[in-house]
Amino acid sequence: MSVLTDDALKAMIHNEGYLVETPEEMTEAYKKALIQILLVQADTELMSAPAYYMAACKAPSLNTRLSAYAIIQDELGHAHITFRLLEDLGMDKEHLIFGRKPNEFKNPFGFDQPLETWVELVMANAYFDRAGIVLLSDPFQNTSYGPWKRALAKVDKEELFHLRHGEVWMKRLCEAGGKIKAEIQRAADWMFPMGVEWFGMPDHLKRHTAQLEFKLKGKTNDQLRQDWLSAVVPLSESCGIKIPAHFDAESGHYVVDYHLPCDYDASQKQWLFDKPITWDQVFERWKRRGPTNEEYVNMFQRQYKQFMTSFNGGA
């Protein structure tokens, strides 16, 4: 096909439902926006694996550990799918996984935090995997990039298993009450605001709109955040877990009961609701990465280097 302008490609996508199938059909701006959104997904899937593994090792039984390992296997499979899509766009898959420095990964800040108990793994499935489903269901339904849309058919179904694992166990543990419910509450105290922040800055501050203009996704940050809140707030309330958010009947929206964004003490896993900050400060925190960023990246990069050394005869 002839070389398209950005405006012409946008018109085809929005007016004709056009699906882009190959790099040759893309403009440079489309390709750049696509790589950006795919890299975040790939890194998120990949970095969830070591985070979940450390917590899975503390599962209370063989059955619960095997369930966690099945989730980890899925996440690695999802990462492989997305890195393959990036490879089709001309990216070096091996470098992206094994050659980048830890602070170059683009995963959400939540997977730079240590998941120290099996309860935190359960809550990560309930809160963080819900964020994943919200973020991936949108392009599954709306994206203009055909290969990604088809790949997400498998990913979306498996992510639903992860979510159900978290929600079912969250409800069971809260029904038990006592010490275990208190542990759920402590996890929610830091993980719920982490999920709120997961979706990025509010729409009125958003500077880059290419992903929406090219219909790589269909919903805005605030719309996606509302989808997440509309699931997580009722779930938490039904379990008797206190969270700083509520449904506002007048506006018809869920609202958080603190200034978004606010400061976060990663060493204590504690949100400082009395210390509002700017989104620029949030981005600086994300760029610095969190306390387990290097440890988690080194887990798979170190094993890869050891394998390659062994494979090459110790050279």
308 versus 230: the higher-pLDDT residue is: 230
Phi and psi at residue 263, to the nearest 5°:
-75, 160
Cα(46)–Cα(43) distance, integer angstroms? 5
Q: What pLDDT score does 1 carry?
A: 44
pLDDT tens string 7-41: 999 999 999 999 999 999 999 999 999 999 999 99
Residue 176: other Cβ atoms inside 10 A? 10
What is the DSSP secondary-structure string of 171-225? Answer: HHHHHH-HHHHHHHHHHHHHHHHHHHHTT-S-GGG----HHHHTTSSSS-HHHHH
Cα(5)–Cα(128) distance, integer angstroms? 38
Burial zone of 204 (CB within 10 Å; 0-12 exposed, 13-18 middle, 19+ buried): exposed
244 versus 310: the higher-pLDDT residue is: 244
Split at pLDDT 50, 70, 90, the class of 313 is low
Closest by CA to 260, choosing from 199, 214, 219, is 199
Cα(175)–Cα(239) distance, integer angstroms? 8
| 7-35 residues labelled b (16+ CB within 10 A) or e (exposed) | eebbebbeeeebbbeeeebbbeebbebbe
The helix (H) or strand (E) run that includes residue 47 is helix 28-56
pLDDT tens string 243-288: 999 999 999 999 999 999 999 999 999 999 999 999 999 999 999 9
pLDDT tens string 189-213: 999 999 999 999 999 998 889 999 9
Cα(123)–Cα(181) distance, integer angstroms? 12
pLDDT tens string 104-130: 999 999 999 999 999 999 999 999 999
Cα(212)–Cα(234) distance, integer angstroms? 29
Cβ(232)–Cβ(51) below 8 Å: no
Residue 5: other Cβ atoms inside 10 A? 10
Q: What pLDDT score does 208 carry?
A: 84
The helix (H) or strand (E) run that includes residue 248 is strand 245-248
SS3 at position 145: strand
- β-bridge partners, 245: 256
Q: Tell me the whole-structure pTM to 2 decimals.
A: 0.95
Question: What domains, with CATH codes, occur in the chain?
Answer: 6-308 (1.20.1260.10)
Q: Under the phi-then-psi rule, with left for phi > 0, alpha for psi from -120 to 50, and beta for the rest, what region is 115?
A: beta
